Amino acid sequence: MWLKAVALSVLVCAVAAYNSRRFPPGFKFGAATSSYQIEGAWNVSDKSESIWDRLTHSKPSIITNGATGDVACNSYYNWEDDINIAAELGLHFYRFSLSWPRLLPTSFIDKISAEAINYYNKLIDGLIKRGIEPVVTLYHWDLPQRIQDLGGWANPYIADWFADYARVAYRLFGDRVKIWITVNEPVVACDIAYNTGFFAPGIKSPEFGNYLCGKNMLLAHAKAWRIYDEEFRSKYHGKVGLTNQIFWHIPESDEDEELTEMVRQYMTGMYSHPIFSKDGGWPPEIERIIAENSKKQGFSRSRLPPFTKEEIDLIKGTCDYYGMNYYTSRTVRKARDGESIGSWPLQDGAVDLGAVMSVKPDWKKAASMWLWVFNREIYIKENLTRNLKKNLIANVLFQIMFYMCAKFHQDPLSRLGYLTTNIHPSNQTFAFIILVRSKVFSVPY
Ligand SMILES: *[C@@H]1O[C@H](CO)[C@@H](O)[C@H](O)[C@H]1NC(C)=O
Ligand SMILES: *[C@@H]1O[C@H](CO)[C@@H](O)[C@H](O)[C@H]1NC(C)=O
Ligand SMILES: *[C@@H]1O[C@H](CO)[C@@H](O)[C@H](O)[C@H]1NC(C)=O
């Protein structure tokens, strides 16, 4: 009953936005980067090694043509050019990540790099001077190798080490940075990394690694949010949250409806339910399934580590917005008897759920091997001109928003503003949508 009411109100909102066919005033456009992808200068001044430095140097065959981020866009030196490009594109905000091993060369707070402070200060001040809002991610996958040597995200102490790092960042930059993203896409940093071993830290541990990482990352996020809330919010009035990457899953046939819902819970619920639901903790059905599988496999406890009551309370409610990155979609069906199931989520299977994912024959493949275009209802009728006025209808985004509202929001009415009152400082909550194009601007490097 309640769910139906929520669904209806969101639909009305979506239809209203559809009919007006233009972005509401206050809608912000931005571009996003991450430190390892753009900074280069991997061994400059006192920066220490990250897990991506280690992986690309030690296993060059893992990356196409043995490429590394040693130089990348060289943004450590070319930051002024980058700001000029952002200004030329008319961006309202620019999202970038801090490099933990650059800011804290020992990984811990005993040493804060003066060069790193200087670099990020120049970048933040330069953006603000051009009227571009800095949006800062604390963790976009370049963990200090020294912490990896202690177990990385599988070591529960990482939550405290990350929280210490977050406090340093808020203290140094919080006077000017008002939107913080604690961790970018736990599903990539944990699930893809440990299920495949193709992502740093290059360790394949599909039974345990992904789940240990997921739990500790949620705890790290929660501690970082609480530090902001308790020590900085009254002074700086910013927003802190995490971003999830969400594939949209649709059932291959009517019989796959229930399984598809489990897959959505497995992708989106794992990193949303603990934060946004009334009860907190892992999505209960998923927790039950993994516990049962573990028992059948002969383990004495679930491979998915449970949360204690204190941990559930620590994590619950630790978000000032819902951050979402959307790229692509998949169909879902039950695996056939004896069928081998690919690794979750990129290689199109979910072993613990007995699910196989695929694409429909008419979906087109984009530049990346995993990026299939399903969102055919996105129309961009004008190009990226300076004032960036656009008409865009994103059916898939509405579907996902609709789902999120129905699943996790206890106060659906306050969420109706997500498209129309984006990032308005007086609103309690907001969402921002980052539109992704792999080549908005071409830079020769
Ligand atoms: C830094 O790495 C580059 C390769 O990217 C290498 O040529 C250079 O010698 C290194 N510098 C130091 C100080 O180790
Ligand atoms: C973008 O749109 C503007 C205005 O409609 C037009 O003048 C310009 O040529 C277009 N640019 C490209 C690259 O299509
Ligand atoms: C957000 O704030 C604006 C400006 O104060 C207000 O007009 C709007 O109704 C608010 N929206 C929500 C959903 O609270």
**351-379 confidence digits (pLDDT tens):** 999 999 998 887 766 545 554 444 333 33
Q: 278 with 407: CB under 8 angstroms?
A: no
Q: State the pLDDT at residue 256.
A: 97
Angle between helices 257-267 and 284-296 (to 10 degrees): 100
Q: State the pLDDT at residue 111.
A: 98
CA dist 170 and 233 (Å) reads: 10
Task: Tell whether ligand 2 has an atom less than 6 A from the beta carbon of residue 20.
Answer: no
Element (H, E) at 293: helix 284-296
Residue whose C-alpha is closest to residue 363's, from 221, 247, 261: 247
Ligand 1 pocket: which of 36, 39, 42, 43 to mutate (most atoms <8 Å of CB)? 43
Q: State the pLDDT at residue 403.
A: 56
Please give the distance, rounded to the nearest whole angstrom, from the Cα atom of residue 43 to the centre of ligand 1.
Answer: 6
Q: State the pLDDT at residue 413.
A: 29
Residue 9's CB: how many other CB atoms inside 10 A? Answer: 16
Please give the distance, rounded to the nearest whole angstrom, from the Cα atom of residue 350 to the centre of ligand 1.
Answer: 41
Q: State the pLDDT at residue 18.
A: 44
Q: What is the pTM of this model?
A: 0.79
Nearest CA owner, ligand 1 atom 14: 43
DSSP state of 66: G
Residue whose C-alpha is closest to residue 72's, from 31, 100, 37, 35: 37
What is the tens place of the pLDDT at every residue in 313-340?
A: 999 999 988 887 777 788 999 999 999 9
**What are the per-10-residue average pLDDT scores of the chain (445 residues)?**
28 39 63 86 97 94 84 90 85 91 98 98 98 94 98 98 98 97 95 93 96 98 98 96 88 95 94 92 97 98 98 95 80 95 90 94 62 37 29 41 50 29 27 32 40
Q: State the pLDDT at residue 25.
A: 61
Residue type, 256: D
Ligand 3 pocket: which of 426, 428, 429, 430 to mutate (most atoms <8 Å of CB)? 426
Q: State the pLDDT at residue 30.
A: 75
Q: State the pLDDT at residue 10.
A: 31
Say whether 14 sits in a helix, a strand or coil: helix
CA dist 411 and 421 (Å) reads: 16
- Nearest ligand, CA 390: 2
Domains in the chain (CATH in brackets) are 2-418 (3.20.20.80)
Three-state secondary structure of 163-209:
HHHHHHHHHHHCCCCCEEEEEECHHHHHHHHHHHCCCCCCCCCCCCH
Please give the distance, rounded to the nearest whole angstrom, from the Cα atom of residue 383 to the centre of ligand 2.
Answer: 6
Q: State the pLDDT at residue 5.
A: 28
Residue type, 300: S
